[in-house]
């Protein structure tokens, strides 16, 4: 990556978020060191997406705060936030006939003057670098509508990188992708060495690509810490209702999960 | 680099076509004025000699056709730009400048004056209708915005569209009721004429206002082109790119509504321009607003000048309502767009 | 592709466009002089007022344009055919007595002429029956026309502001004719017309062909009939022939009627207005086919009176309508 600001640490302090009287997030705290990849795991509906949206500044927490470096995220204005945090959403689509280059160029929106309408030389350089990092340079002039799922996700990643954020947030970035593309995408993210928080579905992927894990269940933080400490048989049983054995991976220095079956007695 | 050149080329070509169409429109009308006499009138008015221009020639070419053509260009440009903005903001292909109840509200005002024959605040006739239409449009806008403001004053697109539909229906009911219950044939005919729109009444004073309003709309919208682009993937995506979505929506919706209200109160509710032109232009320029907006303005202006010229020349002795011409062109184009979409997907 | 200079460039373009527009609009060069002015002639200038608008006519009009049929008929009734440069908006047949004169006058358009067409006729006076003629989408407002040297007059019956319209009466019709005659300097013809029509009226009243008869005046419509009410042309005719309007209590000139009430009233005679958009034949067919309405006494006994629509609105042809109604009623009564 071209020279940029040092990536920052992210701190969420007892963040809660409610809507229509329902508590979606309940006093979640987490801390991510600069340059680390943190995985957020938990069953569907546990509040992972909401947590990411709060961390991105898209939703204001009903209590608690989010800090990036030394800045309180929600005290900043939208443009300042967008220069600090970039979010890759799940399957964001458009009907417009944009080229890949245009989509990535959107990432430059928070930079430069508010009234700017075009890209200058500096913007072009950043976009080109982002395209290389996400390996979509060869697709630059292709229409968005013609891309495959994997290519679209990488384009979104490039767009997020074009924002030159200090924190990268990914919301289930590998859903709907082939296994090969899943591994490729997450490997690429890891190599960026940018502070990253990724909501992930698949425990194996989480184990392979994250430094730390955070487990959310029913909006509450259930466990957090290094992968090996968090990914345990009791945790998987309690949160997922699945009986699994966690052992050492035969090749790589990380945990490996083997399913045994559903725990039927558990409610 | 190539992109910049393309942009300038497209704009230049559109500008040339507009100029050509406007010049042609000056030479066409109910009364035959030869091309050389048209040029003589224009030359005289620009201080280049007298050329023996008669009063009638001057009246027809300079006092009637010129402002009418300019007015049509302004209205076409304004409506096309507003349509493009609303389509992007609501991410709805069927959005048009009348989304926020503007034309329905304007109808309420205009019809009330036309049927009840009131002189309104000391004004009478066409001025009263225009003022009443503007007031009606603002009233409808206010109701739509109140209905559409979600929690925290956001304007969710789906809700906004529905609010516009609801207010539109209510206004249409009032209009129909008033015409049927109180209107005589003459009033009913005038209401119909107003509803279909016409630039026939535009003279110099009005055309300058229309042109200025259109210019403001184009310049203002191009200035926020970057923000409009950011809505491509939805409002959360726009927010994550640093756009204050709620403030941008309010600003643009109220802005386009005001522009549309002014245009409608002068010429009535001319349909299809704001709906169809952005789609036409997007095919050529793509969806990026920095090119889309100025070209929409130019193509919208050309479209409406051409439509007006057809409306006043295709049938001898009678002007077809301009709304009919825009509809006859717009509807088939829309059908073609749908087929094209189906073929590609 | 510099974005910073982009803003400046846009502002420059906008500024240039605005300047060009201002130059165009304010070139400062006025319209060419109109052709030489005519001598005023005795009796001029003349001022007439209608609908709150005062018009001053400086010289005798020689190239007047009538923009509605009512206005055209007033002009023809005053024998002004040779002073008309054009007519417009005919929506029914011209009465036979004026047909020859009418055919000699150029017809500008089927409805309102475009302003271009109007100006090309080089009018020196414009006369209309409805306010819509002076919309800026038609020939332009009266003020605009005055600025262009074309005085204009709008029939008081057609004022946009309803408060300024006179109640329908023979006198109001004759007053309008007087005003128009004054503009054209033919006041004596207007007096003659007034005398003539007054004599006709007196004769009709003396004859009283409709005495003792209750009349329904059926103008148009099917599901909801549009019928003559208590204050318009229909009522004037009904009064002139001495009949009674079964629905004289309704306000206005015409009003929406109600078939139930009509069945309850069971009128003696039904007068039918015949127009191209709703023929008398069509109305009779409707009445005869309807299971309930065909039982009305007037329908069963075929006691219909038919007059053209244009003889039922307040205007110079209204008297013809009254005469025709009177004659037809006498024939009906004689038949009985």
Chain A residues inside the 8 Å CB shell of B241:
82, 106-107, 109-110, 163
Nearest 5°: phi and psi at C88?
Answer: -155, 170
**Looking at the partner chain, which of A113, A115, A118 has a beta carbon nearest the beta carbon of C1?**
A118
What number of other Cβ atoms are within 10 A of residue A252's Cβ?
10
Residue B20 in this model has a pLDDT that exceeds 70: yes
- C46-194 and C208-335 have identical folds: yes
**Looking at the partner chain, which of B232, B286, B288 has a beta carbon nearest the beta carbon of A94?**
B232
B181, HSE (Cβ side, Cα atoms, 13 Å): 9
For chain B, helix, strand, coil in percent to 5 are 80, 0, 20
Token pair of B97, please?
């400048």
C9 contacts chain A (CB < 8 A)? no
What number of other Cβ atoms are within 10 A of residue C191's Cβ?
14
* Same structural domain, A179 and A259: no
* Same structural domain, A176 and A239: no
Chain C residues inside the 8 Å CB shell of A121:
1
Chain B residues inside the 8 Å CB shell of C18:
212, 215
- Residue written as tokens 């609009």? C25
Interface test with A, best of B238, B240, B246, B292 (most A CBs within 10 A): B240
Residue B295 in this model has a pLDDT that exceeds 90: yes
Q: What is the pLDDT of residues B208-233, one digit of tens each?
A: 999 999 999 999 999 999 999 999 99
* Same structural domain, A21 and A91: yes
The Cα of A10 is separated from the nearest Cα of chain C by a number of Å equal to 33
pLDDT at C18: 57
pLDDT at B127: 78
In a domain, A81, yes or no: yes
The residues near A84 (Cβ < 8 Å, ≥ 6 apart) are A8, A68, A69, A71, A73, A76, A165, A166, A167
The Cα of C270 is separated from the nearest Cα of chain B by a number of Å equal to 22
Look at residues A141, A153, A160 and name the one whose alpha carbon lies nearest to residue A92.
A153
Q: Output the pTM of the full model.
A: 0.86
Contact C314, C158 (CB under 8 A): no
The predicted model gives C222-230 an average pLDDT of: 92
How are beta strands C244-245 and A220-226 bridged, if at all? unpaired
Exposed, middle or buried: residue A14 (CB in 10 Å: 0-12, 13-18, 19+)? Answer: middle
Query: Rounded distance, CA C15 to CA C150, Å?
Result: 39
With CB atoms and an 8 Å threshold, state whether A120 touches C3.
yes
Instruction: Read off the CATH number of the domain in which B278 is found.
Output: 1.10.3470.10
With CB atoms and an 8 Å threshold, state whether B64 touches C119.
yes
Residue B292 in this model has a pLDDT that exceeds 90: yes
Q: Which CATH number fits domain C46-194: 3.40.50.620, 3.30.450.20, 3.40.50.1980, 3.40.50.300?
A: 3.40.50.1980
Sign of CA dihedral B305, B311, B312, B314: positive
Look at residues A152, A163, A81, A158 and name the one whose alpha carbon lies nearest to residue A123.
A163
C310 contacts chain B (CB < 8 A)? no
Look at residues A158, A197, A253, A161 and name the one whose alpha carbon lies nearest to residue A37.
A197
Q: What is the pLDDT of residues B244-277, one digit of tens each?
A: 999 999 999 999 999 999 999 999 999 899 999 9
Lowest mean pLDDT among A245-259, B165-179, C219-233, C250-264: A245-259
With CB atoms and an 8 Å threshold, state whether A96 touches B239.
no
What CATH code is assigned to C208-335? 3.40.50.1980
With CB atoms and an 8 Å threshold, state whether A78 touches B243.
yes
Question: What is the strand order of the sheet C84-88 is part of?
Answer: C107-109, C84-88, C64-66, C125-128, C152-154
In chain B, pLDDT over 70 holds for what percent of residues?
94
The Cα of B270 is separated from the nearest Cα of chain A by a number of Å equal to 26
Chain A residues inside the 8 Å CB shell of B89:
none
The residues near A193 (Cβ < 8 Å, ≥ 6 apart) are A1, A7, A35
Nearest 5°: phi and psi at A148?
Answer: -80, 170
Contact C138, C112 (CB under 8 A): yes
C17 contacts chain B (CB < 8 A)? yes
| Cα angle B330, B331, B336; round to 5 | 95
The Cα of C1 is separated from the nearest Cα of chain B by a number of Å equal to 6
pLDDT at B133: 93
Host domain of residue A20: 10-95+157-225
Q: What is the pLDDT of residues C108-166, one digit of tens each?
A: 998 999 999 999 999 999 999 998 899 888 899 999 999 899 999 999 998 887 788 89
Sign of CA dihedral C291, C297, C302, C306: negative
* Bond from prior residue into A177 cis (ω within 30 degrees of 0): no
The Cα of A229 is separated from the nearest Cα of chain B by a number of Å equal to 33
Host domain of residue B212: 2-344
The Cα of C118 is separated from the nearest Cα of chain A by a number of Å equal to 49
Tell me which chain B residue has its CA closest to the CA of residue C53: B124
pLDDT at C31: 78
Look at residues B49, B47, B178, B165 and name the one whose alpha carbon lies nearest to residue B108.
B178
pLDDT at A179: 87
The residues near B133 (Cβ < 8 Å, ≥ 6 apart) are B106, B107, B109, B110, B261, B264, B265
Query: Rounded distance, CA B41 to CA C241, Å?
Result: 60
Confidence tier at B1 by pLDDT (50, 70, 90): very low
**Looking at the partner chain, which of B58, B203, B319 has a beta carbon nearest the beta carbon of C31?**
B58
Token pair of A162, please?
């074009």
In a domain, A261, yes or no: yes
With CB atoms and an 8 Å threshold, state whether B232 touches A96.
yes
Token pair of A227, please?
């992968």
> Per the structure, how many domains does chain B have?
1
pLDDT at C136: 84
Query: Rounded distance, CA A123 to CA C107, Å?
Result: 68
Q: How many CB pairs under 8 A join A and B?
A: 79
Contact A174, A165 (CB under 8 A): no
The Cα of B327 is separated from the nearest Cα of chain A by a number of Å equal to 25
**Segment-wise mean pLDDT, segments of 10 residues, chain A, 267 residues:** 58 90 90 92 90 92 90 90 92 89 94 78 93 93 91 93 94 86 89 92 90 92 91 89 86 85 68
The Cα of C23 is separated from the nearest Cα of chain A by a number of Å equal to 30
pLDDT at B119: 59
Chain A residues inside the 8 Å CB shell of B11:
none
Going from the C-alpha of B15 to that of each of B8, B11, B295, C173, the distances in angstroms are 10, 6, 8, 56
For chain C, helix, strand, coil in percent to 5 are 45, 15, 40
Contact C65, C126 (CB under 8 A): yes
A264 contacts chain C (CB < 8 A)? no
The DSSP output letter for B243 is -
**Looking at the partner chain, which of B63, B200, B215 has a beta carbon nearest the beta carbon of C17?**
B215
A250 contacts chain C (CB < 8 A)? no
Interface test with A, best of C3, C4, C10 (most A CBs within 10 A): C3
With CB atoms and an 8 Å threshold, state whether C132 touches B208.
no
With CB atoms and an 8 Å threshold, state whether A120 touches C2.
yes
With CB atoms and an 8 Å threshold, state whether C6 touches A118.
yes
A117 contacts chain C (CB < 8 A)? yes
Neighbours of chain B (3+ CB pairs under 8 A): A, C
Sign of CA dihedral C76, C81, C84, C88: positive
| Cα angle C25, C27, C29; round to 5 | 120
pLDDT at A251: 83
Going from the C-alpha of B167 to that of each of A90, B99, B174, the distances in angstroms are 36, 10, 11
Residue B342 in this model has a pLDDT that exceeds 80: no
Helix (H, G, I), strand (E, B), or coil: what is residue B7? Answer: helix
Q: How many CB pairs under 8 A join B and C?
A: 115
* Same structural domain, A194 and A266: no
C113 contacts chain B (CB < 8 A)? yes
The Cα of A146 is separated from the nearest Cα of chain C by a number of Å equal to 28
Exposed, middle or buried: residue B92 (CB in 10 Å: 0-12, 13-18, 19+)? Answer: middle
> Per the structure, how many domains does chain A have?
2
Exposed, middle or buried: residue C248 (CB in 10 Å: 0-12, 13-18, 19+)? Answer: middle
Helix (H, G, I), strand (E, B), or coil: what is residue B70? Answer: helix
Chain A residues inside the 8 Å CB shell of B239:
57-58, 78
Q: Name the residue ranges covered by the structural domains of chain C.
A: 46-194, 208-335
With CB atoms and an 8 Å threshold, state whether B239 touches A58.
yes
Q: Identify the H or E element spanning C154.
A: strand C152-154
With CB atoms and an 8 Å threshold, state whether C7 touches B223.
yes
Confidence tier at B46 by pLDDT (50, 70, 90): confident
In a domain, A112, yes or no: no
Instruction: Read off the CATH number of the domain in which A85 is found.
Output: 3.40.50.300
The Cα of B317 is separated from the nearest Cα of chain C by a number of Å equal to 5
Name, of A254-263, B56-65, B74-83, C49-58, the range with top average pLDDT.
B74-83
In a domain, A85, yes or no: yes
Chain B residues inside the 8 Å CB shell of A81:
242
Query: Rounded distance, CA B212 to CA B266, Å?
Result: 13
C166, HSE (Cβ side, Cα atoms, 13 Å): 17
Helical pair B102-116 and B245-267, crossing angle rounded to 10 deg: 30
Sign of CA dihedral A130, A136, A140, A143: negative
**Looking at the partner chain, which of A56, A83, A109 has a beta carbon nearest the beta carbon of B230?**
A109
Lowest mean pLDDT among B46-55, B307-316, C92-101: B46-55
* Same structural domain, A197 and A247: no
């Amino acid at each position: 990556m071209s020279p940029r600001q040092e990536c920052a640490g992210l701190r969420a302090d007892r963040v809660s978020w409610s809507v229509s009287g329902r508590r979606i997030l309940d006093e979640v705290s987490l801390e991510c060191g600069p340059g680390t990849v943190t995985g957020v795991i938990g069953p569907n509906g546990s509040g992972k997406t909401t947590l990411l949206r709060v961390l991105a500044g898209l939703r204001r927490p009903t209590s608690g705060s989010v800090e990036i470096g030394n800045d309180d995220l929600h005290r900043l204005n939208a443009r300042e936030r967008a220069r600090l945090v970039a979010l890759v959403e799940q399957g964001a689509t458009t009907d417009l006939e944009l080229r890949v280059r245009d989509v990535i160029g959107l990432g430059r929106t928070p930079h430069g003057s508010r009234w700017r309408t075009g890209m200058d030389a500096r913007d072009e350089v950043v976009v080109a670098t982002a395209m290389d990092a996400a390996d979509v340079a060869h697709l630059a002039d292709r229409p968005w509508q013609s891309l495959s799922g994997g290519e679209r996700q990488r384009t979104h990643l490039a767009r997020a990188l074009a924002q030159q954020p200090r924190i990268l947030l990914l919301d289930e970035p590998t859903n709907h992708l082939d296994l090969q593309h899943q591994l490729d995408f997450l490997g690429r993210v890891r190599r960026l060495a940018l502070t990253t928080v990724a909501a992930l579905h698949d425990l194996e992927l989480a184990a392979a690509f994250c430094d730390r894990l955070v487990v959310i269940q029913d909006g509450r933080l259930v466990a957090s810490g290094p992968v090996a400490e968090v990914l345990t048989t009791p945790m998987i049983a309690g949160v997922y209702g699945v009986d699994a054995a966690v052992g050492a991976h035969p090749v790589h220095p990380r945990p490996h999960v083997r399913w045994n079956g559903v725990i039927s007695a558990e409610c | 680099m190539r992109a910049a050149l393309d942009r300038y080329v497209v704009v230049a070509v559109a500008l040339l076509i507009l100029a050509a169409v406007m010049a042609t429109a000056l030479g066409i009308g109910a009364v035959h004025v030869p091309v050389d006499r048209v040029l003589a009138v224009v030359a005289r008015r620009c201080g280049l000699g007298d050329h023996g221009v008669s009063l009638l020639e001057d009246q027809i070419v300079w006092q009637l056709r010129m402002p009418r053509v300019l007015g049509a260009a302004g209205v076409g440009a304004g409506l096309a730009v507003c349509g493009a903005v609303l389509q992007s903001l609501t991410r709805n292909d069927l959005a048009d400048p009348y989304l926020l109840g503007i034309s329905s509200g304007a109808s309420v005002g205009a019809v009330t004056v036309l049927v009840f024959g009131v002189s309104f605040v000391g004004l009478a006739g066409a001025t009263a209708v225009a003022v009443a239409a503007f007031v009606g449009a603002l009233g409808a806008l206010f109701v739509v915005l109140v209905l559409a403001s979600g929690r925290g004053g956001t304007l969710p697109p789906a809700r906004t569209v529905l609010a516009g539909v609801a207010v539109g229906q209510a206004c249409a009911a009032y209009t129909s009721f008033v015409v049927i219950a109180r209107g005589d044939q003459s009033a009913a005919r005038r209401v119909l004429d107003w509803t279909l729109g016409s630039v026939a009444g535009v003279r110099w004073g009005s055309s300058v206002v229309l042109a200025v309003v259109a210019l403001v709309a184009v310049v203002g919208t191009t200035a926020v082109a970057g923000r409009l682009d950011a809505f491509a993937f939805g409002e959360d995506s726009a927010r994550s790119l640093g756009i204050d979505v709620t403030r941008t929506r309010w600003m643009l919706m109220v802005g386009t509504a005001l522009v549309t209200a002014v245009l409608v109160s002068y010429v009535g509710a001319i349909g299809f321009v704001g709906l169809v032109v952005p789609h036409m232009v997007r095919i050529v320029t793509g969806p990026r607003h920095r090119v889309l907006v100025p070209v929409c303005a130019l193509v919208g202006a050309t479209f409406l000048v051409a439509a007006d010229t057809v409306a006043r020349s295709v049938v001898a002795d009678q002007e077809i309502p301009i709304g009919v011409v825009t509809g006859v062109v717009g509807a088939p184009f829309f059908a073609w767009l749908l087929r094209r979409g189906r073929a590609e997907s | 592709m510099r974005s910073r200079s982009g803003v400046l460039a846009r502002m420059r373009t906008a500024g240039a466009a605005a300047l060009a527009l201002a130059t165009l609009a304010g070139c400062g060069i006025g319209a060419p002089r109109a052709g030489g002015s005519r001598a005023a002639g005795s009796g001029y200038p003349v001022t007439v007022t209608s609908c709150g608008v005062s018009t001053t006519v400086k010289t005798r009009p020689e190239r007047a344009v009538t923009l509605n049929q009512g206005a055209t008929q007033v002009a023809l009734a005053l024998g002004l055919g040779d002073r008309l440069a054009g007519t417009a908006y005919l929506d029914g047949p011209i009465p036979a007595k004026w047909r020859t004169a009418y055919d000699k006058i150029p017809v500008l358009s089927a409805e309102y002429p475009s302003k271009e067409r109007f100006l090309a006729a080089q009018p020196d006076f414009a006369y209309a029956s409805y306010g819509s003629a002076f919309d800026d989408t038609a020939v332009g407002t009266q003020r605009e026309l005055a600025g262009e040297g074309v005085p204009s007059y709008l029939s008081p019956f057609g004022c946009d502001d309803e408060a300024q319209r006179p109640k329908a009466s023979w006198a109001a019709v004759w007053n309008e004719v007087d005003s128009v005659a004054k503009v054209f300097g033919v006041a004596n013809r207007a007096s003659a017309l007034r005398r003539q029509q007054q004599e006709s009226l007196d004769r009709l009243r003396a004859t009283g062909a409709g005495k003792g008869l209750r009349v329904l005046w059926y103008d148009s419509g099917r599901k909801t009939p549009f019928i003559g009410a208590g204050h318009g042309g229909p009522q004037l005719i009904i009064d002139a022939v001495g009949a009674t309007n079964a629905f004289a209590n309704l306000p206005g000139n015409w009003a929406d009627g109600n078939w139930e009430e009509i069945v309850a009233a069971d009128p003696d005679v039904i007068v039918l207005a015949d127009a191209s958009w709703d023929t008398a034949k069509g109305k009779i067919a409707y009445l005869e086919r309807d299971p309930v309405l065909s039982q009305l006494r007037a329908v069963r006994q075929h006691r219909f009176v038919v007059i053209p629509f244009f003889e039922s609105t307040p205007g110079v042809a209204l008297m013809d309508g009254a005469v025709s109604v009177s004659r037809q009623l006498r024939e009906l009564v004689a038949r009985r």
